[in-house]
Amino acid sequence: AQRVTQPEKLLSVFKGAPVELKCNYSYSGSPELFWYVQYSRQRLQLLLRHISRESIKGFTADLNKGETSFHLKKPFAQEEDSAMYYCALSGLGNTGKLIFGQGTTLQVKP
Amino acid sequence: EAGVAQSPRYKIIEKRQSVAFWCNPISGHATLYWYQQILGQGPKLLIQFQNNGVVDDSQLPKDRFSAERLKGVDSTLKIQPAKLEDSAVYLCASSHLREIKVFFGQGTRLTVV
C-alpha cells in the first residue's frame, strides 16, 4: 500500500532549538518525496523535494531508502517557521499525483 | 504570476443538496488537480486532468462527484447529492506538463449540515 506517515500531530520547540519533523513512507517503486508547508492563512506550497537536495529557509531533508524515511530538519528554529508541514510522495513521472501524510503542526515558541 | 483561483471560499449546504466549485488554474498550466482535505488529514487526490482529458479519477466517488474541464482551462467539481462526510476543504492545484512544482489554490471550505 502507498502511504505516508507523520507520527507527530504537533511539535512544539523553543526558538533556536533544533527541529526534526518525521516522515515515513511505504511505496512499491521509486517515489519522489516532498515537503509542503502551509503558513497561517496562506496556501499550501512546496518547501523542498528530495531530488534537488537543496536547503530552503534552512530546512533540509534526506531520503533514507533503507528506513523509508524523509525527515525534515532545521538546526535552529525561528518563530516564522511555525506552520503546518506535510510530507508527500508521488510516483516518478507524475509528480502532481501526491499522497500526503496527515501533517505536523510546528509551533516555535519565543 | 497570478495564483490558482477558486470560488467560492466557503459554502454551507444541507445534506442531499448539490454544490459546485470552480477553479481557474495558472495560465498555461496543462495539468489540473482536485484534492479533498478532511479536517485533521492531509489532502487526497480526487481527479487529475491533463488539458481537458482525465488522467486519473480512481479516488473520485463517481456516484455523487463529477468534474469537468472544458476547453482545458477552468474546471468545476460538483457534488450531488452531498453527504455529511463530504464536509472538507476542496483544493484545486495546477502545474505545467511534467513540471514538478504544483501550485495550490486557497481552497473551498464545504460544510454539509
The answer to whether the beta carbons of residues A32 and A91 sit under 8 Å apart is yes
Name the nearest CA neighbour of B34 among B21, B47, B20, B43.
B47
| Any A CB within 8 A of B41 CB | yes
Contact: B43, A86; criterion CB under 8 Å: yes
Domain A3-109 coded CATH 3.90.740.10? no
| Any A CB within 8 A of B101 CB | yes
Q: What pLDDT, on the 0 to 100 scale, is given for residue A93?
A: 64
| Any A CB within 8 A of B106 CB | yes
**Residue B105 CB partners (closer than 8 Å, separation 6+):** A43, B3, B4, B5, B6, B23, B91, B92, B93
Q: What mean pLDDT, rounded, does chain A reach?
A: 92
Write out pLDDT tens, residues B37-86: 999 999 999 999 998 899 999 999 999 999 999 888 999 999 999 999 99
Q: What pLDDT, on the 0 to 100 scale, is given for residue B70?
A: 82
Q: What pLDDT, on the 0 to 100 scale, is given for residue B1?
A: 57
What are the structural domains of chain B?
A: 5-112 (2.60.40.10)
Residue A92 in this model has a pLDDT that exceeds 70: no
Residue extents of the structural domains in chain A: 3-109
- Calculate the CA B13 to chain-centre distance: 17
